[in-house]
Chain A
Amino acid sequence: MLDFLLRVFGKDASSSKNVAKDRLRLVLVHDRADVSPQLLEDLKEDLIKVITNYMDIDERALEVNFDNSDNTVALVANIPVIKMKRNAKREEKIG
């Protein structure tokens, strides 16, 4: 009954138009970012370059992806660390 009333007054968040809007918003974030597989590959390579200054990582197990849930989009990176480099910063300065 409440459902029906909410529908009548157009307040129902699950009305199909709201579902359409939410889905569109999400899909457009991706479309507009123009995230090509190549872009993700480039990003991965750059990440590896920077991170290896500080630690050894398992490059093959590295994962970078877009994750969307709850109307937000996040860049999620999973980077397995093998070991930390000692005095990483100093090494680089000398190097």
Chain B
Amino acid sequence: MGEVIVITSGKGGVGKTTTSANIGTGLAAMGYKVVLVDTDIGLRNLDVVLGLENRIVYDIVDVTHGHCRLKQALIKDKRFEGLHLLPAAQTKDKTAVSPDQMRELCTELKKDFDYVIIDCPAGIEQGFKNAIAGADRALVVTTPEVSAVRDADRIIGLLEAAELRSPKLIVNRLRPRMVKSGDMMSIDDIIEILAIDLLGVIPEDEMIVITTNKGEPAVLDNKSRAGQAYRNMARRITGEDVPLMDLYADLGLVNRLKKFIGFK
């Protein structure tokens, strides 16, 4: 029996889909059977981030409405044996699926997969309610900005009201240099305000733009700092105790010189 993990944020554009794709791929790379479920009906995107957009035949609405069998709608990733995607419908809206149908779908998927990762749409309306309906635990993605942290707080409240206790926090797009100069909230600042446990921190990384352009999750790129952060996070999800990576190591003058000369 697997576990259903929903990835939420409230605010759009903070990296839910990128995080879903990378955590899912990271878990599959570790050998687990993973299915990524895109619940952003009408604004489907997880398929392009994963590079699977050309292989969609059926979608989540086809499954819940009985137009096809669940197995027919699942797209198998060719890079990893265990990685699958259940895409969102693009031409319907959020009301095309109900929380009850989602619960049923999650129960079905849990039988066959170790991890069911649900990419939640932005907002707190029907799409959000659908996405969290069948979840066993929740992750909340935020960035170190006032608007994103505020929305994360709201989402944490709604998750707890829905009996999804103690969600874990992912802080995305942190810029260590700005934190050091006092112009960006630090991890400690955000944790203090939101009062929840941290799952991981992803540093701002241009590699994300490049990997997303190509449809290959950054978690597969050994040189990407964000990729490393996602690999660590995937291991933490499985229960491993992985320390946070040192985001400030590159900031010292000596280290920067070494890097410049080519020592690192």
Contact = CB atoms under 8 A, between A and B. Distances in A.
Interface residues of A, number: 16
Contacts of B183: 15-17
Contacts of B146: 20, 23-24, 27
B186 A17 contact: yes
B111 interface: no
A24 B145 CA distance: 9
A52 B209 CA distance: 65
Given A31-B150, A32-B153, A32-B157, A25 B193 contact: yes
A10 B157 CA distance: 32
Interface in A64-85: none
Main secondary structure of the interface of A (DSSP, over half): helix
Contacts of A53: none
A5 interface: no
A12 B180 CA distance: 12
A28 interface: yes
A17 B184 contact: yes
A31 B124 CA distance: 14
A10 B183 CA distance: 9
Contacts of B137: none
A93 interface: no
Contacts of B184: 16-17
